[in-house]
Structure 1
């Protein structure tokens, strides 16, 4: 058996707030999507990122409960330059989103930061920093 990853789904408590967060990352999500219970975005390469409200999930899984004790998945978005990571982190924090780890130069050769989306999922922001990783 061989399967291909096609969809990454995010369950959201507040669709407009979640979509606003992901629009800041450059995803093309029309304003009318804010009122929808299910939203899909096709990413470069064909992978789909989808959002479903808690109410939508309950239509087919009435016993679904959000995870407790933190998220179990994170998404990572690559930027073209280290300064873009810093600017993106500052933009998210200035708009009231939770900054989890301020930008730093990671030992693996990337400028890295972590913010949380409105539902507490980790969203990594990174860029190659032009330095070779330490051995």
Structure 2
């Protein structure tokens, strides 16, 4: 029997800052009333996204340290039109989040940009370019 991948868990440094960042992308995280170090958000298609603080998660990951040098994982958000990629990137950078790659028209036919969430996780913003 094959398992079902239905949850992604992100270890974060600052829960409030991370929830505020993802709220700007339309995600509605709910803190667990019994564990304020844990939050979850149900996404379309049955996927569940979780946030756990470093102090909460590290006892379960012996030897874990926060990654350095750049994101290893990227969450990707699709927009209906390319202009919305640029607008959201600008909004996030102006709000103080770090832009990793400014919006550009990629050779594979998408408007693409990358920002970092407060814990340094990569977040791609993209939209299909109009057919020429």
TM-score (norm 1): 0.88
Q: Secondary structure at the match of 1:88?
A: helix
Partner of 2:78 in structure 1? 78
**CA-based RMSD:** 1.9
How many residues get paired? 131
Partner of 2:12 in structure 1? 12
CA distance in 1 between partners of 2:30 and 2:42 (Å): 13
Would you say the 8 A contact 1:57–1:64 is kept in 2? no
Structure 1: state its 5+ residue gaps: none
Q: Which runs of 4+ in 1 moved over 3 A?
A: 30-33
Would you say the 8 A contact 2:81–2:128 is kept in 1? yes
Aligned-pair distance for 1:121?
A: 1.2
Aligned-pair distance for 1:32?
A: 8.6
Structure 2: state its 5+ residue gaps: none
CA distance in 2 between partners of 1:69 and 1:89 (Å): 21
Partner of 1:111 in structure 2? 111
